[in-house]
Structures are given as C-alpha cells and as structure tokens.
C-alpha cells in the first residue's frame, strides 16, 4: 500500500514509523542528527535562531532521540551548547546520544583515537556541555574518518562499562565498526545500537544491518541522505539512480531525500534514522518521511539501483 504525502500540505510526526528500544528507553525511529545544526565547517555559520527553531520543532513533532557529539562544532557554534540552550529543561522521554573516541583540536583537526583511560574526560565534556548528570547513550566511535578501523574494541568497551557502573552513562553503543567488533562487544556487555554510514546508494553494511536485527541491536545509519560510497559530505548526495529515485518521489508527492529516508526506515523495524539539518523547513520534510510507505514495486525499483 502506498501513502501519498505532500510536504507542503502535511506535517508528519516522528512516531509514524514506530518505535524501538535503545537500551531501556523507547524512542521513535525517526530522530535528529545534530551535526548540521550550527552549519558545517565548509558552510557559512547558520543562524542561531534557526538551530533553536529546529530543535524545539523537532521535539514538538515527537523526535525523542537526538544524536550529537562534543566534536560537532564550528568556529562560532557548538551543537551541544545549542541543544542545551534550546531544550532545557529536557523532556522526560528525550534520549541524548553522543559519541566518544575521536576528538578535535581548536582548529577543527581530528585527533587520534582516545585511549580507554581518556574516555571519561570525553564523556564528562559532553555532560558539562549538555547540562546533564548522565548521558542516555554513549557510542564508541572507533577510528577517525569514514574508514572502519580493524582491531579489538574490548578495552574501550570495558572503560565505558566502568563509566556506566559509575552512573555517567546509561547505555552503550558502537559507531564505525565491523561485524567482528560488534560480536566482540556483545561478549562484554549489551549493545544498544550500531551507528554506521549506510544508505540507499551506500550498501556496504547490508550484512551488518541484518546481524544487528538478529541480535536485537538498533542499526542507526548516518549519512543516509547526505552522501554515498567514496564521496565526502561536501559532495552531497550521490547521483546514482537519481532518475529512479525521483520517479518514486513523484509518485508519492515527496522529495528524493524523503524517499531515501523512507527506504532506510523500511530496511527493518530495528533501523532508525537520524537525518540532520539546520533548516526548519527541511526538518519538517524529514519528519514527514516517517509517514511514507513504499510498496513492493517502489522497493524493487530502489533496490535495483544498488544491484546495478
């Protein structure tokens, strides 16, 4: 069954795609990525009022999972500070998720992967910036850049377990990892989610997505809309299959970005989406994608793009 949606006429809500458990918390599967709130490093700074409007409107539309990091900042904006200023006091059902592992210097350059004993400092930085006593979810982002880093995650996960036991965080996740690293982490502690780069035209982690479903672990793609294999975020969406995606979008009165998000959410009930934006209008379009239902013909057309 299809669901026609006009982004100019209908404003959807984040609960339209259903819910999933992140540890002991229930979240709507359509969330918000914070990275673009203040603007990307290669863009002019965004207006603070726009970032505030996006965050407050997101919560009004039912978004209760916001993904952020202390290393999301530009010369004039910190995403964690924007979140804290816009949303405190935080809604009771809001899960704030952050990432630790990499860090950035004042000039924006990424620093080497933190040692396990350095993770406490990174978690505490997020706690201070966000104005909370406990992080709802901390993802260990393994390695710097888009390439997954081979090797054991055991010591880093062990450090996060200690921080969880100390009450600094509630739930542990992983980012930028392999199936073997997920399996290793699961032998140490429950894992709430895996956050890897993945999308309609970026299908390298199909098997990992399926493994997460088998293990009851949320799979939370980043750059599901923004980029594709081999491209940087600066390059924007991959043009592969643009005609086919546009045809499906026209059928539903939607945008190609909404189709990519709807496809992502239909990859499995354990798959979440965290599209990022600093534009209030784009936020409403992203949230409206939770209401889209692609039929078998749509899915066949879209899946053929990656197979081609």
* Strand extents, DSSP E, 47-145: 65-67, 95-100, 103-104, 110-111, 137-141
- Measured CA to CA, the distance from residue 271 to residue 206 in angstroms comes to 12
Predicted confidence band at 9 (pLDDT cuts at 50, 70, 90)?
very low
Predicted confidence band at 265 (pLDDT cuts at 50, 70, 90)?
very high
Predicted confidence band at 2 (pLDDT cuts at 50, 70, 90)?
very low
- Measured CA to CA, the distance from residue 121 to residue 15 in angstroms comes to 35
Mean pLDDT on 259-267 = 97
Q: Percentage of the chain with pLDDT > 90? A: 76
Known catalytic membership, residue 90 = no
Location of structure tokens 């979810």: 137
In sequence order, the β-bridge partners of residue 135 are 169
- Measured CA to CA, the distance from residue 5 to residue 99 in angstroms comes to 34
In tens, the pLDDT along 165-217 reads 999 999 999 999 999 999 999 999 999 999 999 999 999 999 999 999 999 99
Question: What mean pLDDT value characterizes the chain?
Answer: 89
State the pLDDT at residue 87: 98
What is the DSSP-derived secondary structure letter of residue 148?
P
Tell me the CATH number for domain 14-307. Answer: 3.20.20.100
How far is the CA of 182 from the CAs of 98, 178, 188, 205, 221, in angstroms?
18, 6, 10, 13, 15
In sequence order, the β-bridge partners of residue 197 are 222
How far is the CA of 276 from the CAs of 65, 166, 187, 193, 246, in angstroms?
12, 31, 32, 18, 21
Segment (H or E) for 27? strand 25-28
Q: Which long-range contacts (CB under 8 A, 24 or more apart) does 107-112 make?
A: 108/41, 108/73, 108/74, 108/75, 110/71, 110/144, 110/145, 111/144, 112/144
Segment (H or E) for 302? helix 296-307
Instruction: Say if CB 51 and CB 280 are below 8 A apart.
Output: no
Among 160, 93, 161, 100, smallest CA distance to 129 is for 100
State the pLDDT at residue 146: 53
In tens, the pLDDT along 150-179 reads 689 999 999 999 999 999 999 999 999 999
Torsion sign, CA atoms 57, 58, 63, 65: negative
Helix (H, G, I), strand (E, B) or coil at 136: coil
State the pLDDT at residue 148: 67
Take residue 194 and report the two structure tokens written for it: 């895996």
- Measured CA to CA, the distance from residue 139 to residue 157 in angstroms comes to 10
- Measured CA to CA, the distance from residue 34 to residue 81 in angstroms comes to 11
pLDDT value at 228 more than 60: no
Catalytic residue among 72, 73, 198, 223: 72
Mean pLDDT on 292-299 = 97
State the pLDDT at residue 112: 74
What are the boundaries of each domain within the chain? 14-307
What pTM value is reported for the model? 0.91
Instruction: Say if CB 222 and CB 33 are below 8 A apart.
Output: yes
Q: Are strands 25-28 and 32-33 parallel, antiparallel or unpaired?
A: unpaired
Neighbours of 165 (CB within 10 A): 9
Q: Are strands 110-111 and 103-104 parallel, antiparallel or unpaired?
A: antiparallel
Predicted confidence band at 1 (pLDDT cuts at 50, 70, 90)?
very low
Helix (H, G, I), strand (E, B) or coil at 58: helix
In tens, the pLDDT along 70-109 reads 998 887 789 999 999 999 999 999 999 999 998 887 776 7
Helix (H, G, I), strand (E, B) or coil at 199: strand
Give the HSE-up count for residue 199: Cα atoms under 13 Å, Cβ half-sphere.
28
pLDDT value at 5 more than 80: no
């Amino acid at each position: 069954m299809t669901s026609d949606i006009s982004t100019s006429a209908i404003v959807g809500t984040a609960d339209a795609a259903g819910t999933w458990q992140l540890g002991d918390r229930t979240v709507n599967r359509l969330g918000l990525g914070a990275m673009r709130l203040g603007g990307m490093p290669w863009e002019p700074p965004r207006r603070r009022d726009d970032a505030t409007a996006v965050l407050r409107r997101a919560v009004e539309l039912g978004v209760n999972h916001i993904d952020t990091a202390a290393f999301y900042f530009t010369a004039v904006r910190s995403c964690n500070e924007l979140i804290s200023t816009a949303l405190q006091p935080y809604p009771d059902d809001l899960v704030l998720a952050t990432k630790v592992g990499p860090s950035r210097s004042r000039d924006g350059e990424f620093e080497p992967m933190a040692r396990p004993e350095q993770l406490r400092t990174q978690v505490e930085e997020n706690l201070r910036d966000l104005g909370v006593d406990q992080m709802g979810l901390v993802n260990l982002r393994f390695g710097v850049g888009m390439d997954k880093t081979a090797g054991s995650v055991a010591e880093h996960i062990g450090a996060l377990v200690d921080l969880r036991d100390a009450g600094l965080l509630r739930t542990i996740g992983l980012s930028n990892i392999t199936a073997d690293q997920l399996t290793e982490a699961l032998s140490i502690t429950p894992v709430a989610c895996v956050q890897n780069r993945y999308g309609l035209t970026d299908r390298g982690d199909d098997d990992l997505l399926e493994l997460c479903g088998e293990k009851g672990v949320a799979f939370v793609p980043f750059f599901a809309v923004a980029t594709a294999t081999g491209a940087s975020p600066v390059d924007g969406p991959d043009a592969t299959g643009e005609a086919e995606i546009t045809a499906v979008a026209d059928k539903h009165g939607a945008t190609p970005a909404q189709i990519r998000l709807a496809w992502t959410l239909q990859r499995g009930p354990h798959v979440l989406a965290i599209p990022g934006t600093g534009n209030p209008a784009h936020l409403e379009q992203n949230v409206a994608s939770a209401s889209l239902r692609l039929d078998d013909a749509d899915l066949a057309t879209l899946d053929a793009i990656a197979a081609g």
